Amino acid sequence: MMKNIYSPSEYIKNVYSLIITKLTMPCARFVRRPIYLRGRKSLSGCHGLTTGRFCRFDLEGEKLTLFIGENCEMGDMTHIVAHEKVEIGNNVLIASKCFISDTSHGIYKGSNQDTPKTAPNKRQLVTGKVRIGNNVWIGENSVILSGADIGDGCIIGANSVITKKIPPNSIIVDRNCIIKQFNETIGDWERI
């Protein structure tokens, strides 16, 4: 097993982050600084949470909209937007630079669509729940958008975009493309 060796300045930053974590989020394991958290009242869970630097949470602020399960780890620059409901299960590993959002700007189907003439930040916010199951691994630069429902045990390949329901124990690459599923009967991954 490889041991992390920190420079003196990195060691001091980590000690500072650990002290602030225990003072502000005692149930979390280690929240590296800086972190951006808007709408703190909307966050729940977080037991054993570990985050990298520059993580950003944009939450609704009045009701519970983001639940993070036990022993989750998030890499640097993970960005989560939760205005309706984002639920992250236990033991989820999220690589750096991932974006998870239950919110988008504008309506683009049906009879009351937004047009390109309206500035994006003036368009109506549209939300849809996001669920990430237990024991999920999300690769670097992945994007999980409203309506995504990722089953337990899934592996989401780097740079993937997920917008729909993914069955448990699946390996996903690209845009919702399932390439393998774990077969419980034979105890092995099978190509789809």
**pLDDT over 80 (residue 4):** no
Please give the Cα distance from 83 to 45 (Å, whole number): 17
Q: Hey, which residues are catalytic here?
A: 105
C-alpha 141 chain-centroid distance: 11
Which residue type is seen at 129? K
Q: What one-character-per-residue DSSP string does 166-177 give?
A: E-TTEEEETBTE
In a domain, residue 93? The reply is: yes
- Domain count of the chain? 1
In degrees, rounded to 5, the angle at the alpha carbon of residue 76 between the alpha carbons of residues 1 and 179 is: 75
In a domain, residue 173? The reply is: yes
Q: What is the pLDDT of residues 49-92, one digit of tens each?
A: 999 999 999 999 999 999 999 999 999 999 999 999 999 999 99
In a domain, residue 151? The reply is: yes
In a domain, residue 8? The reply is: no
In a domain, residue 177? The reply is: yes
In degrees, rounded to 5, the angle at the alpha carbon of residue 125 between the alpha carbons of residues 157 and 175 is: 20
**pLDDT over 80 (residue 176):** no
Q: Compute the radius of gyration of the chain from its Cα atoms.
A: 18
In a domain, residue 48? The reply is: yes
- Tokens describing residue 155: 């592996």
In a domain, residue 42? The reply is: yes
| CB 105 within 8 Å of CB 125 | yes
Which residue type is seen at 26? P
In a domain, residue 43? The reply is: yes
- Tokens describing residue 107: 């309506």
Q: What is the pLDDT of residues 122-159, one digit of tens each?
A: 998 899 999 999 999 999 999 999 999 999 999 999 99
Domain that holds residue 151: 34-110+118-191
Q: What is the pLDDT of residues 22-50, one digit of tens each?
A: 999 999 999 999 999 999 999 999 999 99
| CB 169 within 8 Å of CB 154 | yes
Q: Domain holding 181: CATH number?
A: 2.160.10.10
